[in-house]
């Protein structure tokens, strides 16, 4: 029987970066995934600068565009445009990004096994292609449709959103820009993201919108002069969003990234949460391995401090745009609001509540609209981690 300090199930962004951090710190790490890399995965492929800056290495080898301009429109009507002082989002493709992160984990010393069958995941090990493997710590990172969280009885029952995206011929009009269509899908938005040789167009929102996503996607294309019939690689996917108080760690097992439901309820982005949860879980795992902690529960406490406030704010923004779209859009178009958003995307502030001066005032106004709309984020602020 093979034995490792840590076994990581799932080699997406969260799993690979956790494996990298642990292997770099001297732990023996097994990283497994049922897919064979490089493999594609449905995702808009935008990495905010705050997410990129969490990594101990540069993502530039797989960056295809750098966003400095935001174009935002409400229901195909009123619009505004803002320019950032530096790139706020890096555009890549998951096929390239995930393979790159996997290679970093392997280079750091992790034993990487892709294209394998993983079964019997438990807190002290797992079975890989029929081989019994023991591990002092097991991290579930196999995403929304994985089985590790259920096997470890972690993550609870997340709320799911849905999204549909496709690739279209490259159009220089969108170079360096991120186009967002607000309130065109209930509980979500539409987007256009520039890539190296194409543009990615997508729509996402509440699960109930699933049957209408193709119609929504075609509408976004037509409104922006993109021929819907030129679509390639059309694919849909679910977005898992953690419920308040759902368990993320118990003893020597934990879940991270999408497997933990750590996706922003408003933007649908899980890259920052994936990278940060990987870092927090790796830190907790190293304390267990060194004998300074008995279990990974401190990881869940760290999530409550570092990620849950963002989840609460995301739910607030989501419900505010859904219930009072014109009022919220009016607040969002204020230059002072964009300055706060820019600082958030750059990682200069940790959460909207950390803004100062007029920027803080703008955030408070959006929070006020969210409270008027019902504020589902309140449950996250009140729930114990």
* CA dist 137 → 22, 56, 118, 252, 278 (Å): 11, 23, 16, 5, 14
Alpha-carbon distance of 296 to 118, in angstroms, equals 22
- Find the length of the chain: 385
Name the CATH topology of 2-43+95-156+243-306: FAD/NAD(P)-binding domain (3.50.50)
Split the chain (385 residues) into runs of 10 and give each run's mean pLDDT: 95 97 98 94 90 96 97 96 96 96 98 97 96 98 92 94 96 97 94 96 95 97 97 94 94 97 94 97 98 97 95 92 93 94 92 87 88 83 58
Alpha-carbon distance of 182 to 186, in angstroms, equals 9
List, in sequence order, every residue forming a beta bridge with 148; answer none if it has no partner: none
Q: Where are the beta strands (DSSP E) in 68-188?
A: 69-74, 79-83, 89-91, 111-114, 118-122, 125-128, 131-140, 159-169, 177-182
CA distance between the termini of the chain: 36
CB 303 within 8 A of CB 245: no
Fold: same for 2-43+95-156+243-306 and 48-92+159-241: no
pLDDT given for residue 144 in this prediction: 85
pLDDT given for residue 329 in this prediction: 94
What radius of gyration do the chain's Cα atoms show? 20
pLDDT given for residue 383 in this prediction: 59
Q: What is the DSSP letter of 199?
A: E
Domain ranges of the chain: 2-43+95-156+243-306, 48-92+159-241, 308-382
CB 371 within 8 A of CB 327: no
pTM, whole model, 2 decimals?
Answer: 0.95
Alpha-carbon distance of 110 to 250, in angstroms, equals 24
pLDDT given for residue 384 in this prediction: 52
Q: Which residue has the tokens 């496709």?
A: 166
pLDDT given for residue 385 in this prediction: 44
CATH number, span 48-92+159-241:
3.30.9.10
pLDDT given for residue 273 in this prediction: 97
Q: Which residue has the tokens 């190293």?
A: 286
pLDDT given for residue 350 in this prediction: 87
∠ CA 210-214-216, nearest 5°, is 90
């Amino acid at each position: 029987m093979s034995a490792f300090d840590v076994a990581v199930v799932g080699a997406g962004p969260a799993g690979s970066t956790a494996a990298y951090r642990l292997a770099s710190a001297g732990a023996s790490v097994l990283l497994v995934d049922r897919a064979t890399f490089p493999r594609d995965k449905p995702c808009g492929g935008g990495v905010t600068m705050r997410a990129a800056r969490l990594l101990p290495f540069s993502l530039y080898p797989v960056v295809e565009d750098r966003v400095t301009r935001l174009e935002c429109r409400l229901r195909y009507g009123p619009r505004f445009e803002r320019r950032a002082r530096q790139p706020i989002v890096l555009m890549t493709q998951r096929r390239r990004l995930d393979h790159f992160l996997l290679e970093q984990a392997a280079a750091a010393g992790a034993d990487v096994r892709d294209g394998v069958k993983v079964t019997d995941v438990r807190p002290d090990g797992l079975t890989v292609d029929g081989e019994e493997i023991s591990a002092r710590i097991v991290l579930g990172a196999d995403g929304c449709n994985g089985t590790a969280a259920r096997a470890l009885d972690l993550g609870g029952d997340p709320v799911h959103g849905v999204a549909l995206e496709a690739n279209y011929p490259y159009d220089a009009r969108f170079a360096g820009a991120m186009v967002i269509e607000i309130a065109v899908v209930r509980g979500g938005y539409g987007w256009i993201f520039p890539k190296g040789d194409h543009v990615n167009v997508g729509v996402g929102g509440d699960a109930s919108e699933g049957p209408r996503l193709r119609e929504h996607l075609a509408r976004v294309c037509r409104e922006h002069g993109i021929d819907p019939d030129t679509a390639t690689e059309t694919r849909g996917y679910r977005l898992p969003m953690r419920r308040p108080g759902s368990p993320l760690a118990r003893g020597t097992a934990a879940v991270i990234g999408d497997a933990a439901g750590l996706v922003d309820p408003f933007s649908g982005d899980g890259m920052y949460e994936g990278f940060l949860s990987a870092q927090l879980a790796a830190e907790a795992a190293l304390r267990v391995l060194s004998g300074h902690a008995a279990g990974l529960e401190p990881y869940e406490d760290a999530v409550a401090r570092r990620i849950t406030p963002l989840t609460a704010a995301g739910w607030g923004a989501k419900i505010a745009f859904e219930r009072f779209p014109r009022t919220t859009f009016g607040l969002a178009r204020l230059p002072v609001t964009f300055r706060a958003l820019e600082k958030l995307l750059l990682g200069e502030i940790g959460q909207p509540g950390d803004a100062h001066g007029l920027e803080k005032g703008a955030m408070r106004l959006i929070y006020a609209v969210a409270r008027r709309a019902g504020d589902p984020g309140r449950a996250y602020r009140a729930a114990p981690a």
